[in-house]
Structure 1
Amino acid sequence: MRSTILSYRKLEALIKKKSRQSPFLSLSSLGKSIEGRDVWCVTIQKPIDSGTEIVQNRKRSRQSQKKTPVVITASIHGHEATGSIALLRFLDKIQKEAKSIQWLDDLVVHCVICCNPDGYVHKTRYNAEGFDLNRDFLTQSQPETQSIVNLIVKVKPAVVLDLHGYVWKRSIHTHLGLIEPCTPPHNPAYEYDLYLKWALPLAEHMEAFLVAERDKFSGERFKSIKGTYIPYRDGKNGWDDYSPFCCSMYSMLQGATGLTIESPSRSEDGTTWLVLAVTAALSHISKHRVELEKNQTAFFRRGIKNHHPTHSPGLFPKYFLLTEKSGFESAYRKLILHLQQNGIKLYSSTEEFKYEGHTFPSGTTIVPMNQARANLAYCFLSRGEDLSSGSERLSELCAWSLPLSWGVNCHPAVEKIMAGMKPFKSFENDVQPVPYPEKPNPEAPVSVGILIDDGLFHKKSHSGLKLALQQMKIPFKELRAKDLAVKKALSSIDVLIYNGYEHLFYPPSNIRSMYRDFVLDSPDQQDACRKNLQHYLQKGGKVIGIGAGASKALTMILELSEAEVHSGGWNKNALLQIHYKDHAITKGYLTEDTGFVYRPAWFTNIGKMNVVASYGKGQDTLLAGYWPDYHQAHGKAAIITNPEGNLILFGLEICFRGHTSYFYRLLWNAIHSEPRK
């Protein structure tokens, strides 16, 4: 039987009511969602002792009156509402049994009942801007993500439990749901020995409790439960924790024991499964809170001493040195503010100094790596690794490097800096949008249209494009694939931009029934789109395709070019060296500069098309990420344009998840470059 999923209005009303009725519950708003809904946090603690603050070098005894903080998050994916319902029922339990719950003597628990209220309302995985919030914890581009990050930075939880659904490994019928820790590869910024020491026993304790309490379930499969799927213990690969874009993995970089917990189903038993798992977890955390706190203190102490015994010698430098990249000054401000908001200490040099042949000006930002959050700083600022030769199958993104993807000079220093330093003062003003030097003629503004997909494959692949345009303050009109079958749809558009799946232009017979509302209605409609776009180009309209999906659709399906598009496959991603030619589209970039790919694409048989940029040829041109067959793209075209300049195809992902703002200028240039008459 499916669990009763409440409307958000009802959920919110019950949260407020329960918080008023119990002295053990207090309610606060962490911030607002995109559509203005509160991100509510219910704090559970004994009213007579509400101490919550933990300091990084704390030394506590069992008699300490301070409480160990725990954070529980739910419904980061809005359509996975079982977590919110489970927490609501857990609050019922607190109301009724608080005086007899022993862990309340030791813990203060912050429950973010619904991290993604807009997604909950609209029954979508993503938020109102189309962003998967559980892929946003490094970039923190969305207000909901920022709310959760601020909570974690403020309370420094010893444990973070992130409630999700729905995972049921059919190959192991008696093991229901999933509880981390994960399979390799593990991010080198983690102190994995400290993490695993407590994450695995915590997972196994929850598992044992679920088995022991199986009489609480109603369905036969749940009543027959013999365990849960714990990837570290039960899997070989495919559920890795390399990417810290997710809530639980991000919390590991803040010293917490973070676990993603996946309910087996949306059913009543699935909700009960989560309630039991949380109950068991808090009991275990309370019992071992002293050891967990010592473990967290050991994490911070390794950072303070810059001593990481399980890592390769020299992995962590003594400092990172940050300076502005010419033309990208606001990116530097953005990165500095980002580091500060995540609790990382910064300093400024008080004089000019030299290091490894480079001269650094007075005022250079210095990030010392002998600080508590050194692991997080390393994860933000290091270039990353090339994982292409590994045997593990990665489940998510593994290339990011904020300096490379945002546009900031970052130099690791392994020796002492011979310069004075003072604490960095905050900027007086908030970070401004990235400036672009060539402003369009205000008397003749460019009218931009973008293709949207409304949620194909439970995603909104155009969301990164939307955010890029919004940050560059470029107005745009939204169009759907079906709109292009009507000739007049493009009559008021100067530039059409497509960043999404090629499947958007499939007829319904070529796609699964659950996604047919997002695609074309018939082959005739596909033919109409093809003719209308070809006519649009002939009349001087501009079409920009970004990434493998758009490039394949515009060439293979809509026949705007005879160029052949090759794709490196899903989830292959990398930061790499790109050779940019002197062209209006590449203005502002060096001849040898960087690029980013996700589902990489490159072009051959380009015919009359012009190559604007190409992939590097050397063995070291893949800087970080996972693209095992990158050799196939060596020296191949990465950006091409037709001779008229009004058809531009990017094999790169230049506006990915709000994360690659250094490459937004390529989009700006492409929009405003003048087609040849």
Structure 2
Amino acid sequence: MRKTSVRLAAAGLTATVLSAALWTGPAHATALPAVPPPPVGPSEITGYPRQNVLPVWPDNPADASIPIGAIPYDDIAPKLNALQAASDRVSARVAGKSSGGYDLYAVTVTAPESRNEDRQQEEWKRLIEDDPVRARTDPRLLAEYKTPLFVNANIHGNEWEGTDAALRVIEEFATSTDPEVTRLLKRNRLIFNITSNPDGRIAGTRANAAGYDLNRDLTVVSQPETNLIRELIIDTKPIITLDLHGYVNPTLLHPSTPPHNVNNEYDLYIKHGLPNALAIEENLRALGYPETQRARIPFRDDEPGVWDDFPPIYVPSFAMLQSSIPYTIEAPLNPRGSLTPQERVRRSGINTDVHVVAIKTSLQYIQDHRVEVLHDQAEVYRRGWAGEPLRDIPDGYVPGWGPEDNYHTVFPRAYVIPTGPGQHSEPAAARLVDLLISSGGRVWRAKHDFHAGGKSYRAGSYVIDLHQPKRGLVNSLLEPGIDITERVNDLYAGPAAWSQGLTWGATVDTVWDQLPDVQLNRIYDGVAEGQLPSADSDLRLDIQDAADLLAVNSLIRKGVQVYRLADGSVVIPAVPGSRQLLKDEVRAHGVTFQRAPAGWHGTRLDDIVVGYLGTVEERDTLSDLGFTARALTATTLASTLTDEVDVLLIASNLNLTNLTAPNRNALEAFLARGGGIVGLGTAGANFSNGTSLSTVTATAGPSLASGVANIVNHGGPVTSGAVPHSFISQPVWFTNLGAGVTVEQSYAADPLLAGWWAAATGTGTNGQAAAANQASIVRSISPGGNGVVLFGTDPTFRLHPKGLQPQLGRALLWAARP
């Protein structure tokens, strides 16, 4: 339990704990060749300022920023243009486009640098990661390296004021003659993502134009906005990262409650994270507002699980795995809702002041503790290179630290992602490798065949040596995770486990004891070359990845004959003119065709149109699989559920009793012609039961139950060849199966491999034990010939579980032509 009575001044706390990490050791040793990363191009090393005239957007009186007194989006570019014209300390650029097509602005504020000085800064920045012991003992680096601070503003579109605070700080530092500001800018770089969600800023929505909460996307990186955030963090290596939000009263400041991500060097974070939070709190008090006289620091003030930093899906939790000291800053006063115009502006002004304090205090913390924070950023990398175990952090390490905070993992020596026969899916493997590299990890390929962990691997297999600087990030993506059910009673949000190593469809092997004894070359992207047998023959494609579905749907649309076999794979007969089309699909998607079995028999597939009742997650998953999709609602069935729709994907509840006559008639006509149904969760089961297509009892786990599940695949058109793990978010299982319902997949006797899944208080009827051995995917054919597949797992969750997408695609192919 947290104790709010214990509090130390920031300076005293810092002096107490900083000495704990001032250990130096030998530089890293590794069997890998010292291959440098691709060099930054000469055009990118030009010195500072790097100024650009930003395009100006048309005036938009409907901008949702205006009523609260925040700067409208169309005024940002003119303001930055004016600041660049007035000061050689400001460099602004359009760094990308939002989902809705708006410019994303990245701004650097620092003292001018010559090209040679800029090149030296880049070399030092790399040295800190590549040779951390040398870097932190280099007197010139310690004296002249510009320590970075990264400010990410307005990631939730209707939490506006972080943008205004960033612009205020930029404007102040651009032209200030204060000697202290001059000194700060000679020793630091400030990097700002001015508005990381312009779509939502203008519309007044939390999500971007594509419908995604961007602060849940930092490991999947499905959106252009989060891609930029990731790039800025990795490229600039910030000492401190600030993610500016609203609205929690009193102002909320990280550090967070447990559970903590098990891969973090938490001792090197909390020793700085807590004292800077206390300093921000003190400076907020000095603002003089009644609303800023205290802050809420979850680590100090909340029970475990209330506001945790466990999954690396948020900007701060991702940044910590990059060796940054991160904060979520939640300004206190909500300016939305039924307020007078004056009160909206008053609240917005206080929130802006709060964020300015957070920026300036954090910059001052870096300045005051420069040697220590540089040492500790490098220490994260040094421990990774050395392969040292995580530290046991003693109780009282900082005030409030106790056994409830200690979360650890054991790092393996390496991972191997095989190529060839041992790989479940080559496209999935390449996708996973790309994620690791783009997230800051390092990956190598073997030049020859080799043995490791009792297995044989082909040349070209990927090797991930965990003796690398960002091992925590890499391991967080690849390891299975842990079951934290017994450790916490609550979570801020799911997922409680993610494991791209188990849920993205690729085979990933763990090597515990020794780095594989084979020559390795570092690589910078994954490759799925695909295969096509040389002789003309009927060819089979086993659908085990989204890439396979893309190829199938592409071939069908090009007029190629495609037949689905009983096991869910497809066969393309050898007909004149088809081979070049198959080569095109191999080249485009990296898929692998095999010779078709002799005497095969299958069902001819046509272009399948999917109507879906769900969210943007279903929309975009269907797009990733290459299906033609149409959004449906209860009020649009009559106009959208036409004869062209072959199968319905039911991911949201449909109240069948409240349908108007035209919409009910359209649904009944669809079912009467044998339209297929694929249902997700209880919504799918309710629809199937309500339309008498099949009979099941669907039980849902708690809403926060989530993670990686152990499952048993029983084979069939949906799950043949599927991986033995699944992803769950509020898991569902099916019992009391009616006549003709076949179980294709079930939860294992121990359903939860990693994550959180507690039973509802006092009942136990929706816990892990209740789901053990129960069905997780079922299929049936209704008396009217409708194919029905029901999922209790979650194949569309935030576009994350790539390894489940082929199961969904197979289900749609089968349900459309059962």
- The 1:282–1:234 alpha-carbon spacing in structure 2 relative to 1, beyond 3 Å, is same
Are the equivalent residues in 1 in contact too, given 2:424–2:505 (CA < 8 A)?
no
Q: What corresponds to 1:599 in structure 2?
A: 730
1:41 to 106, 109, 115: 106
Return the alpha-carbon distance in structure 1 between the equivalents of residues 505 and 748 of structure 2.
23
Q: What corresponds to 1:575 in structure 2?
A: 708
Q: 1:508-541, CA deviations, whole angstroms, 9 ceiling, x for partnerless residues?
A: xxxxxxxxxxxxxxx7437875664344223211
Q: What corresponds to 1:345 in structure 2?
A: 442
Alpha-carbon shift at residue 29 of structure 1 (Å): 2.6
TM-score, structure 1 as length reference: 0.87
Q: What corresponds to 2:298 in structure 1?
A: 231
Q: 1:233-266, CA deviations, whole angstroms, 9 ceiling, x for partnerless residues?
A: 0011210111111111101111111111111123
Are the equivalent residues in 2 in contact too, given 1:551–1:565 (CA < 8 A)?
no
- The 1:445–1:674 alpha-carbon spacing in structure 2 relative to 1, beyond 3 Å, is same
Are the equivalent residues in 1 in contact too, given 2:734–2:776 (CA < 8 A)?
yes
Q: 1:300-335, CA deviations, whole angstroms, 9 ceiling, x for partnerless residues?
A: 111011113426998011111112465521111111
Give the letter for the 1:87 counterpart.
Answer: A
Q: What corresponds to 1:172 in structure 2?
A: none
Return the alpha-carbon distance in structure 2 between the equivalents of residues 450 and 635 of structure 1.
30
2:363 to 259, 271, 282: 282
Matches within 5 A, 1:110-125: 110-125=191-206
- The 1:605–1:276 alpha-carbon spacing in structure 2 relative to 1, beyond 3 Å, is same
1:661 to 799, 802, 810: 802
Are the equivalent residues in 2 in contact too, given 1:563–1:609 (CA < 8 A)?
no
2:768 maps to 1:671? no
Q: What corresponds to 1:519 in structure 2?
A: none
Q: What corresponds to 1:451 in structure 2?
A: 613
Larger Rg: 2
2:422 maps to 1:357? no
Matches within 5 A, 1:393-408: 393-396=490-493, 397-408=495-506
Alpha-carbon shift at residue 106 of structure 1 (Å): 2.0
2:155 maps to 1:76? yes
Return the alpha-carbon distance in structure 2 between the equivalents of residues 676 and 377 of structure 1.
41
Return the alpha-carbon distance in structure 2 between the equivalents of residues 583 and 304 of structure 1.
46
Alpha-carbon shift at residue 596 of structure 1 (Å): 1.1
Give the % identical residues.
28
Alpha-carbon shift at residue 226 of structure 1 (Å): 2.6
Q: 1:628-677, CA deviations, whole angstroms, 9 ceiling, x for partnerless residues?
A: 22111111121223324523221110121111111111111111115578
Alpha-carbon shift at residue 208 of structure 1 (Å): 0.3
Return the alpha-carbon distance in structure 1 between the equivalents of residues 688 and 436 of structure 2.
42
Q: What corresponds to 1:379 in structure 2?
A: 476
Q: 1:611-638, CA deviations, whole angstroms, 9 ceiling, x for partnerless residues?
A: 333433423x422111122111111121
- The 1:605–1:166 alpha-carbon spacing in structure 2 relative to 1, beyond 3 Å, is same
Moved more, 256-265 or 61-70: 61-70
Matches within 5 A, 1:401-416: 401-416=499-514
Q: What corresponds to 1:518 in structure 2?
A: none
2:222 maps to 1:141? yes
Q: 1:44-70, CA deviations, whole angstroms, 9 ceiling, x for partnerless residues?
A: 111257745323222254862221011
Q: What corresponds to 2:467 in structure 1?
A: 370
Give the letter for the 1:7 counterpart.
Answer: P
Are the equivalent residues in 2 in contact too, given 1:498–1:544 (CA < 8 A)?
yes
Are the equivalent residues in 2 in contact too, given 1:61–1:290 (CA < 8 A)?
no
2:78 maps to 1:13? yes
Gaps of 5+ in 2: 1-65, 336-346, 393-406, 531-545, 560-605, 759-766
1:317 to 412, 415, 420: 412
Return the alpha-carbon distance in structure 2 between the equivalents of residues 229 and 525 of structure 1.
47
Q: Secondary structure at the match of 2:749?
A: coil
Return the alpha-carbon distance in structure 1 between the equivalents of residues 526 and 687 of structure 2.
46
- The 1:430–1:278 alpha-carbon spacing in structure 2 relative to 1, beyond 3 Å, is farther
Matches within 5 A, 1:177-196: 177-196=251-270
Q: What corresponds to 1:538 in structure 2?
A: 672
Return the alpha-carbon distance in structure 2 between the equivalents of residues 16 and 543 of structure 1.
54
Return the alpha-carbon distance in structure 2 between the equivalents of residues 645 and 42 of structure 1.
56
1:152 to 208, 233, 255: 233
Return the alpha-carbon distance in structure 2 between the equivalents of residues 103 and 431 of structure 1.
50
Return the alpha-carbon distance in structure 1 between the equivalents of residues 436 and 640 of structure 2.
48
Give the letter for the 1:307 counterpart.
Answer: E
Give the letter for the 2:301 counterpart.
Answer: D
Task: Supply the RMSD in Å over aligned alpha carbons.
Answer: 2.7
Are the equivalent residues in 2 in contact too, given 1:332–1:408 (CA < 8 A)?
yes
Q: Secondary structure at the match of 1:10?
A: helix
- The 1:84–1:285 alpha-carbon spacing in structure 2 relative to 1, beyond 3 Å, is same
2:722 maps to 1:589? yes
Are the equivalent residues in 2 in contact too, given 1:352–1:419 (CA < 8 A)?
no
Are the equivalent residues in 2 in contact too, given 1:314–1:414 (CA < 8 A)?
no
Q: Secondary structure at the match of 2:805?
A: helix
Alpha-carbon shift at residue 555 of structure 1 (Å): 4.9
Return the alpha-carbon distance in structure 2 between the equivalents of residues 489 and 231 of structure 1.
49
Give the letter for the 1:184 counterpart.
Answer: P
Are the equivalent residues in 1 in contact too, given 2:262–2:408 (CA < 8 A)?
no
Alpha-carbon shift at residue 427 of structure 1 (Å): 4.9
Q: Secondary structure at the match of 2:417?
A: strand
- The 1:556–1:418 alpha-carbon spacing in structure 2 relative to 1, beyond 3 Å, is closer
Q: Secondary structure at the match of 1:114?
A: coil
Return the alpha-carbon distance in structure 1 between the equivalents of residues 622 and 476 of structure 2.
27
Moved more, 414-423 or 133-142: 414-423
2:630 maps to 1:489? no
Q: What corresponds to 1:419 in structure 2?
A: 517
- The 1:577–1:121 alpha-carbon spacing in structure 2 relative to 1, beyond 3 Å, is same
- The 1:340–1:309 alpha-carbon spacing in structure 2 relative to 1, beyond 3 Å, is closer
TM-score, structure 2 as length reference: 0.73
Moved more, 266-275 or 189-198: 266-275
2:432 to 335, 339, 363: 335
- The 1:428–1:449 alpha-carbon spacing in structure 2 relative to 1, beyond 3 Å, is same
Moved more, 21-30 or 303-312: 303-312
2:102 maps to 1:4? no
Matches within 5 A, 1:48-87: 48=113, 51=118, 52-53=121-122, 54=125, 55-56=127-128, 57=132, 58-59=135-136, 60-61=138-139, 64-87=143-166
Matches within 5 A, 1:257-276: 257-265=325-333, 266=335, 267=347, 268-276=349-357
- The 1:314–1:276 alpha-carbon spacing in structure 2 relative to 1, beyond 3 Å, is closer
Return the alpha-carbon distance in structure 2 between the equivalents of residues 203 and 226 of structure 1.
14
Q: What corresponds to 1:241 in structure 2?
A: 309
- The 1:429–1:379 alpha-carbon spacing in structure 2 relative to 1, beyond 3 Å, is closer
Are the equivalent residues in 2 in contact too, given 1:583–1:612 (CA < 8 A)?
no
Alpha-carbon shift at residue 341 of structure 1 (Å): 1.8
- The 1:363–1:394 alpha-carbon spacing in structure 2 relative to 1, beyond 3 Å, is same
Alpha-carbon shift at residue 346 of structure 1 (Å): 1.9
2:791 maps to 1:650? yes
Are the equivalent residues in 2 in contact too, given 1:182–1:230 (CA < 8 A)?
yes
Q: Secondary structure at the match of 2:195?
A: coil
Return the alpha-carbon distance in structure 1 between the equivalents of residues 216 and 756 of structure 2.
17
Q: What corresponds to 2:541 in structure 1?
A: none
Are the equivalent residues in 1 in contact too, given 2:450–2:518 (CA < 8 A)?
no
